[in-house]
């Protein structure tokens, strides 16, 4: 073993340098391994951060669209607000006009109802008058028929009387002639 060791009996400086080289190499390797693991961890964090940034960018874009829509709606509402007093005035005028029209229509309706009521009363009066006249007409017509029948009978009797009177006159003449002839 001595012989083996004697072979290795090289210079102690060499062993120190060799030990120092291995130590430095190990230290550098450990540092590199630590930095590589740190780099991988930071890479993973960076990838997560990129994903979060993309989500945030999408949210920002969505919020930006909503903001634009809100601005547009706000502008429309502002424009409407400018016209609101004018529209309110127009609405008030229209409501006043409608009220005037309602009053006018109510007045006209009342007048028409009054006129219709008068016409209804007149119609009822005329209906009653017509019924009375109709009853009177029927009575008069009945009376006329009776009087006409009576008149026809009287005319017939009168004609009979006239005929008898003529006959009597003829007889009276004939008798007076006979009487004159007899004397």
Q: CA 124, CA 19: separation in Å to the nearest integer? A: 141
**pLDDT tier at 89, thresholds 50, 70, 90:** confident
Query: pLDDT per residue over 54-82, tens digit each?
Result: 999 999 999 999 999 999 999 888 888 78
Q: What are the tokens at 80?
A: 């409407």
What's the total number of domains in the chain? 1
Query: pLDDT per residue over 143-169, tens digit each?
Result: 999 999 999 999 999 999 988 888 888
Q: Residue range 93-106: average pLDDT?
A: 91
pLDDT reading at 30 higher than 90:
yes
**pLDDT tier at 1, thresholds 50, 70, 90:** very low
Q: What is the pLDDT of residue 142?
A: 92
Q: What is the pLDDT of residue 35?
A: 94
DSSP state of 11: -
Q: What is the pLDDT of residue 40?
A: 96
Residue 3 domain-assigned? Answer: no
Average per-residue pLDDT for the chain:
87
**pLDDT tier at 44, thresholds 50, 70, 90:** very high
Q: Residue 115: which domain range?
A: 8-171+176-182
Residue 100 domain-assigned? Answer: yes
User: Is the model more confident about 2 or about 155?
Assistant: 155
Compute the CA torsion angle 23, 25, 27, 31 (nearest 10 deg). 180
Q: What is the pLDDT of residue 171?
A: 80
Query: pLDDT per residue over 4-20, tens digit each?
Result: 545 555 678 888 888 99
Residue 2 domain-assigned? Answer: no
Residue 58 domain-assigned? Answer: yes
User: Is the model more confident about 156 or about 173?
Assistant: 156
For residue 9, the SS3 value is: coil
Q: CA 183, CA 32: separation in Å to the nearest integer? A: 203
């Amino acid at each position: 073993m001595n012989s083996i060791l004697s072979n290795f009996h090289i210079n102690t400086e060499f062993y120190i340098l060799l030990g120092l080289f291995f130590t430095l190499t190990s230290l550098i390797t450990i540092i590199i391994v630590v930095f590589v693991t740190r780099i991988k961890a930071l890479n993973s964090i960076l990838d997560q951060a990129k994903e979060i940034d993309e989500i945030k960018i999408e949210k920002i874009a969505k919020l930006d669209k909503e903001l634009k829509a809100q601005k547009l709606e706000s502008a429309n509402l502002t424009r409407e607000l400018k016209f609101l007093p004018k529209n309110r005035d127009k609405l008030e005028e229209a409501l006043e006009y409608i009220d005037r029209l309602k009053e006018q229509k109510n007045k006209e309706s009342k007048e028409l109802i009054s006129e219709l009521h008068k016409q209804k009363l007149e119609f009822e009066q005329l209906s009653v008058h017509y019924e009375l006249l109709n009853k009177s007409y029927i009575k008069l017509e009945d009376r006329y028929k009776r009087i006409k029948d009576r008149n026809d009978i009287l005319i017939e009797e009168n004609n009979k009387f006239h005929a008898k009177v003529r006959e009597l006159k003829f007889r009276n003449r004939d008798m007076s002639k006979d009487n004159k002839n007899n004397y």
